[in-house]
């Protein structure tokens, strides 16, 4: 009876839930570290990327065989050459007055470039200009963005494009790239497991912990992070399969049971958010590999930030690779993209203790899977 009364205490219930989540995280971390691997990514090129005076790059996509698109925290989006000098080839989305909010997420396709902050502002433009060289850049209101991607004129969103949370909305959306995502995106059958008004999504809105990515055949993978499961959808939005993320060594953060005080603390200080994040294994990016969707999984080992790559294949087969990139605590995260057999990775601090220079140099790494990738598998 005493235990029942204690569990009905909402403050104690929140503390016990977080303690239990931490214990489960340690168990999944131990299981992940003991799992066999299929090798190590082979680094073919890497170099430090200097920050702009107003801040570093936050996300990356291939633009061509020798250049990448970079989303800068305050400078918009550029196409930059991988020539050893990082020659700036062009401004794709310019924001010289810094009116737009921080660019943290980037999606590109043959048709569109889309960049977004975690809240409020999503910006899109066609990849090619109009007659006369003019380009229309569209700035759209957005509610919560945890991850995004674009392909074939469509936008995939993990989050919520609308400000209204009643009734309980989906946490994943897909639809055409327009200036009205709240009206034009269609909800997917993937709902907040915590119930009405999306408490898990909202409580962890300051801490992106998942990913969403189109795959080469038009299907797409959504990994919420704030609840279990990696969900593969067909190009038409039909759920095809779900992987058990705990079996991959991923944590489903117990965002639904965070207290109001925790939510407020996370909104006020990035250090509090990352102190929480650094206790867990989370997805930093999804790579659309020809071998299958690859999850870049972030963890903290021996005082450093580390990553491994889990490639999801048919059935329950999973390939596991070590990623030879080390990050610094507390803020480093890894973003990436695929072009042919080459993987480009951006290791960058996703927040800062002070919003002024000098900022730490980020790093761009070009890597490949081992030559025998796809042979054998780890369960």
Query: Domain of 218?
Result: 2-364
Q: Where are the alpha helices (DSSP H) in 239-349?
A: 260-268, 270-277
Tell me what the mean pLDDT of segment 3-20 comes to. 40
CA dihedral 273, 279, 285, 290 (to 10 degrees): -170
Average pLDDT, stretch 176-186?
Answer: 95
Assign residue 120 a region (left: φ > 0; alpha: ψ between -120 and 50; beta: otherwise): left
pLDDT tier for residue 13 given thresholds of 50, 70 and 90: very low
Average pLDDT, the chain: 86
Inside any domain, residue 373: no
Lowest mean pLDDT: which of 51-60, 161-170, 240-249?
161-170
Give a yes or no: residue 230 inside a domain: yes
Task: Examine residue 208 and state whether it is found in any structural domain, yes or no.
Answer: yes
Residue 130 in domain: yes
Evaluate whether residue 169 is within a structural domain.
Answer: yes
User: Tokens 């490639």 sit at which residue?
Assistant: 311
**CATH label of the domain that carries residue 144:** 2.120.10.30
Residue 319 forms beta bridges with which residues? 311
For residue 6, the model assigns a pLDDT of 33
Top pLDDT among 361 and 235 is at 235
- CA 186, CA 174: separation in Å to the nearest integer? 5
Q: What is the pLDDT of residues 21-53, one digit of tens each?
A: 444 444 444 444 556 789 999 999 999 999 888
On whether residue 376 sits in a domain, the answer given is no
pLDDT digits (tens, 9 = 90+) for 193-211: 888 788 899 888 888 899 9
Give me the number of domains the chain comprises.
1
In a domain, 374, yes or no: no
369 domain residue, yes or no: no
Tokens of 24: 């489960």
């Amino acid at each position: 009876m005493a235990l029942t009364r204690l569990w009905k205490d909402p403050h104690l219930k929140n503390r016990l839930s977080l303690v239990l989540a931490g214990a489960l995280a340690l168990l999944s971390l131990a299981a992940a570290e003991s799992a066999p691997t299929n090798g190590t990514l082979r680094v073919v090129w890497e170099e430090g990327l200097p920050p702009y005076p107003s801040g570093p790059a936050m996300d990356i996509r291939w633009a061509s065989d020798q250049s990448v698109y970079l989303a800068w925290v305050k400078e918009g989006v550029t196409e930059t050459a991988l020539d050893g000098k990082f020659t700036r080839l062009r401004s794709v989305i310019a924001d010289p007055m810094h009116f737009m909010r921080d660019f943290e997420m980037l999606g590109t396709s043959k048709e569109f470039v889309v960049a977004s902050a975690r809240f409020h502002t999503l910006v899109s433009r066609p990849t090619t200009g109009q007659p006369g060289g003019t380009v229309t850049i569209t700035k759209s209101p957005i509610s919560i963005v945890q991850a995004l991607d674009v392909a074939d004129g469509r936008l995939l969103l993990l989050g919520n494009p609308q400000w209204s949370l009643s009734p309980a909305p989906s946490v994943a959306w897909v639809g055409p790239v327009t200036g009205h995502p709240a009206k034009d995106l269609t909800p997917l059958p993937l709902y907040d497991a915590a119930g009405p008004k999306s408490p898990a999504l909202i409580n962890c809105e300051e801490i992106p912990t998942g990913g969403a990515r189109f795959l080469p055949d038009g299907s797409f993978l959504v990994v919420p992070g704030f609840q279990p499961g990696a969900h593969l959808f067909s190009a038409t939005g039909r759920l095809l399969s779900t992987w058990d993320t705990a079996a991959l060594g991923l944590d489903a953060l117990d965002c639904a049971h965070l207290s109001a005080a925790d939510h407020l603390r996370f909104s006020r200080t990035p250090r509090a958010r990352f102190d929480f994040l650094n206790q867990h294994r989370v997805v930093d990016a999804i790579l659309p590999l020809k071998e299958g969707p690859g999850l870049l999984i972030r963890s903290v080992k021996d005082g450093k930030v580390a990553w491994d790559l889990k490639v999801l294949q048919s059935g329950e087969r999973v390939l596991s690779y070590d990623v030879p990139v080390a990050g610094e605590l507390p803020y480093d995260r890894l973003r990436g993209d695929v072009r042919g057999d080459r993987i480009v990775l951006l290791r960058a601090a996703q927040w800062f203790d002070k919003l002024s220079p000098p900022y730490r140099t980020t790093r761009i790494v070009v890597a490949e899977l081992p030559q025998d990738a796809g042979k054998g598998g780890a369960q």
